[in-house]
Structure 1
Amino acid sequence: MSISTMKPTGTPGGESGPSNLKAARLPRWSPYVIAVGSLAVGCGIGLAAGLDSRLQWGLIAAILFVAVSYILSATVEGGRQAKDRLATSMVWVMFLLAVVPLASLVYETVQRGAKVFNGYFLSHSMGVVADKETGGGIYHAIIGTLEQVGLACLIAVPIGLLTAIYLVEYGRGKLAKAVTFFVDVMTGIPSIVAGLFVLSFWILILGFDFSGWAGAMALSILMMPVVVRSTEEMLKLVPNELREASLALGVPKWRTILKVVLPTAIGGITTGVMLAIARIAGETAPVLLLVWVNPFINTNPFDGAQASLPLYIYQQYQSGNQAGYDRAWAAALALIAFIMILNLVARGVARWKAPTTGR
């Protein structure tokens, strides 16, 4: 009895030919070529139409890039792949639309601020220099900003961390819901409202003088809900298995939070605190109401008016002369550098304190 073997269909001899399931694809370099071509055509259309704004040229090029990518992909690769190309090109265009203003802001600040940004500018105040004269610096404003932001952190960070720990680890019932509601409300409070609250209570009712401490209290009100919300979200991301394992070993809950939960979430918590500092470092309204203006160096935040970088920028720009404009841009550059350094320090601390897993 013979058994016949079946051979696959295809080429003679039973050998299968090349698969016809592989669809045609555009080359990998095609998006770059389309982008360059769209940019060139967009610039040409802008010049021919007499458009003065480079932003309009860029928008035309972006529309051309999306349209050409979709049409070519639909022609060569089919409708399904064309939809994927459309979504990808839209993501890239939105990314560039978000990055271009940021890059333009940084470039403009560096270009204008570098005119007077030097060691003299960082080490002198405006005590003996009029706003219309050249010279002077931001030394007094740097001291005021560092002290006011530091005092605000001393107030807001412990309260915010403990509030977030309560909401995640202990909070149940109506009290937790009420705290969450008021944290949400505080997140949207305008800075001028926080300044008016401290002004009416601390200065008008209690009779204290304008000072950096008063400004720090207003800044802490703005900072607190950001710390609470960011810390709360980071604590929720900690796996419950870690808590349960610690509790199963007989470790008290407070020690579990201190030794297991917080170290696991320290990276996100540090980032949230830095975001909160960035939120308050550029506030002008509370400082204008509570700290007032002082062109001289005042290292005591509890006695007398102080300066700060946001208020210094506002004051110099209000002077209405070129020397004031140059100092304002240089102070803005210093403020951006201050926030950047804080973020770099936060990333270093987050990596240093991040939990490590052994083999």
Structure 2
Amino acid sequence: MTLPESLETRPLPIIAPKGPRPYDTIAVLGGGAFGTALASVAARAQRETRLWLRDESVAADVRDNRRNTRYLGDIKLAKGITATTDLAEALDGADAVLLVTPSTTIREMAARIGELAPPDAPIFVCAKGIESGSGLLMSEVAAEVAPGRPIGALTGPTFATETAAGHPTAVTVACSSGVRVRPMERAAARMALSLATGAFRPYISDDLPGVEVGGAVKNVVAIACGILAGAGFGENSRAAIITRGLSEMKELAVKLGGSRETVTGLGGLGDLMLTCSSPQSRNFSYGFQRGQGRSDDEVFDGRPVVVEGRHNAVTATDLARRLGLHMPICEMVRSIVDDGEPIGDAFARFWSSPIGAEPRALDLEIAHPAVDAVERRFEDLNT
């Protein structure tokens, strides 16, 4: 249900002179579901909003009908979005950029932003993942090709349709640059203020590794949860995978300089819970269909659907191996989606691994006493 437009267009409170200054003009690059939803949020927050799309027919739909029917159905978008397929036009004079294209395009797109956007305009990357080969987080990729400007991330538990429809939604806006600037003047605070509306509530962070690791790894964990649900297992199984997946996210974040506390926030645990618990998640849905016995070619009825967790299973484990970390859930998913291991064998190996301890400081490991029983429990997943 779409909230009344009046709720989203009430004037924002007057900001005291010492408070952060919002960005007046925001360029949103990416006309898919989430990019369009963020553009609608920015417009509702009374920002001058430019939305860059690749497809002119979709741009025309946004301009003429205030809809993105291809990706968001009949949801009515906020007034005032300028939709264009001209990247230079979208970036001309922009105060800040939300980069909402797929993770595999971030390097190319950030380089073009570096050439076309004003030199002080920050880039907030909304894609979630780890770059193949380099092992860089998305913000690190952007910083490498667009040096000299603030780089941040916007992440959290957000389904695009609900965000666009005005459902109460909370996100984390992170940026680690500008350390000599007062916290309230930093890019993350300014972007949070720029997007806050009656329904959209941003939180502010200076921990880019923490929020980005959560966004990348949660997609992999969601595939594992989907597989178990598709195979008929219940909530106990899902809770176990979510909890142990969260532990893997924390370990990787800390190795990259992030905080365990950050991973328990919106960009980590919040996003993990959402993605692992709903068929609206492409990653969960992909896993669910695999758990029902469909092959990789049969999921989504053969349609080309982007499932970031398949790619992230490889990039996350590549990075973890390089850092000397073992991420058993991510390794299990990788063995299924990339190595072609039968699902039952992969889950049996995970479930029969040595019994460990919580907390980590206990440093205890015991061989599993019922390996054969575990293998029998999961053997049906191979058929």
Shorter-chain TM-score tier: under 0.3
Q: Which has the higher helix share?
A: 1
- Report which of the two structures shows the higher radius of gyration computed on alpha carbons: 1
Give the TM-score normalised by the residue count of structure 1. Answer: 0.23
Give the TM-score normalised by the residue count of structure 2. Answer: 0.22
